[in-house]
């Protein structure tokens, strides 16, 4: 793939051309020249877009596409197209499938389905067989097939000994273990944040204690085993404090936060709209502020869309019975820019790769072209025409977002929405 990107402002603190507006020549998938003005040598494809900015390719550590088993929600093919149009050059795929991705063959299958796409797919294998929380899955075999981590998606590990053994076993091959932060006996039948709004609306509450108690337990186990742990999608102020203390102890711990838990609160629940039924639930503004501060000071390591397509039959029903989840790839950049500067939003979207063993690239001559293309300016209201996903269960519909994503240049391909 040969292309010439015209008049692009580079947003990459590791680049020799950070904050400069330049032309970028790409030949055979590599950056061959960066200069103020580059003539088109052989009638290469030109990419010239309004107020074009480019950064290192963005990474999402938690996406679900459904396939295999839930293709009516999303396929790998369309999911990766959605990711590319949303600016992501790499995504980690959850084992949120049927059958669950829990073997060497399953990892091989999803990797094969993702070949020759602009966006690279990195499978997360299930931690336990069929994600049943009883017996460890074939972790080492899945690692050899290409799994980058192990996670029973949104299913808490209720047995502490199981997590202890997983951390100890995976440390033999530097494996990364996820533990979903929820103590199910405390959360019970709660479907929203336990607070004033849950009482006022008559919806069963899921208290912050359920998350914090599980995190505290997991951190004790991590300290004991000296393993490698990632806590996905934290949502409370106290959770940030607990992880901050663990990092001060030099434990091998990382965490992420879902973007919707940064920009939305449980005040959205007034309409009983199931688009806002997510797990962990939307919390209070106090929690949002603490999570944002945790990202600013490095306590929280990365953001994620926690993109989870759900079919309309499982969303357009009573709140108590609706499935948890929102799609988020298409709105990620615009939503982040409502609470962070462009520089910080881009930084957050490019963080986390090294934790999953994914190579990082910079925008310099000789590097592989792995670029996200966007315009950081302009406000718009997010609506269904902005959605590429098969499912439309977006919590961002109707929100005012900032900035437009054009697409990506990656894996020898150009995808422009």
The catalytic site residues sit at: 306
Q: Using an 8 Å Cβ cutoff, are 136 and 165 in contact? A: yes
Cβ 369 vs Cβ 409: under 8 Å = yes
CA dihedral of 102, 106, 107, 111, whole degrees rounded to 10: -150
Helix axes 237-248, 208-225, angle to 10 degrees: 10
- Residue 202 backbone zone (phi > 0: left; psi -120 to 50: alpha; other: beta): left
Rounded CA-CA distance 76/322 in Å is: 24
């Amino acid at each position: 793939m040969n292309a010439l990107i015209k008049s692009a402002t580079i947003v990459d603190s590791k680049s020799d051309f950070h904050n400069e507006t330049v032309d970028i020549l790409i030949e055979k998938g590599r950056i061959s020249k960066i200069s103020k003005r580059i003539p088109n040598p052989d009638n290469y494809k030109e990419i010239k877009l309004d107020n074009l900015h480019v950064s290192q390719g963005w990474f999402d550590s938690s996406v679900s596409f459904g396939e295999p088993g839930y293709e009516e929600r999303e396929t790998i093919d369309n999911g990766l197209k959605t990711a590319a149009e949303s600016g992501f050059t790499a995504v980690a795929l959850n084992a949120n499938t049927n059958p669950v991705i829990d073997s060497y063959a399953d990892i091989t299958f999803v990797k094969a389905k993702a070949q020759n796409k602009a966006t690279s797919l990195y499978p997360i294998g299930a931690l336990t067989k069929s994600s049943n929380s009883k017996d460890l899955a074939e972790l080492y075999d899945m690692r050899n097939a290409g799994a980058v981590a192990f996670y029973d998606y949104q299913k808490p590990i209720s047995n502490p000994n199981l997590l202890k053994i997983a951390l100890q076993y995976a440390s033999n091959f530097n494996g990364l273990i996820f533990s979903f932060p929820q103590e199910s006996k405390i959360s019970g039948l709660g479907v929203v944040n336990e607070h004033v709004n849950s009482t006022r609306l008559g919806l069963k509450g899921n208290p912050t204690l359920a998350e914090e108690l599980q995190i505290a337990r997991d951190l004790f186990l991590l300290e004991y085993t000296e393993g490698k742990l990632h806590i996905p999608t934290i949502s409370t102020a106290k959770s940030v404090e607990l992880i901050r203390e663990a990092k001060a102890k030099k434990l091998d711990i990382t965490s992420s936060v879902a973007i919707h838990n940064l920009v939305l609160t449980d005040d959205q629940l007034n309409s009983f709209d199931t688009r806002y039924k997510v797990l962990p639930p939307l919390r209070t503004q106090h929690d949002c502020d603490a999570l944002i501060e945790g990202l600013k000071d490095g306590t929280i390591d990365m953001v994620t869309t926690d993109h989870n397509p759900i079919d309309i039959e499982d969303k357009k029903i009573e709140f108590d019975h609706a499935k948890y989840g929102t799609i988020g790839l298409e709105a990620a950049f615009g939503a982040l820019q409502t609470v962070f500067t462009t520089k910080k939003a881009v930084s957050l979207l490019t963080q986390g790769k090294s934790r999953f063993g994914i190579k990082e690239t910079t925008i310099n001559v000789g590097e592989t072209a792995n670029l996200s293309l966007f315009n950081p300016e302009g406000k718009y209201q997010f609506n269904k025409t902005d959605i590429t996903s098969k499912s439309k269960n977006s919590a961002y519909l109707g929100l005012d977002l900032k900035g437009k994503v054009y697409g990506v240049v990656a894996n020898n391909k150009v995808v422009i929405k």
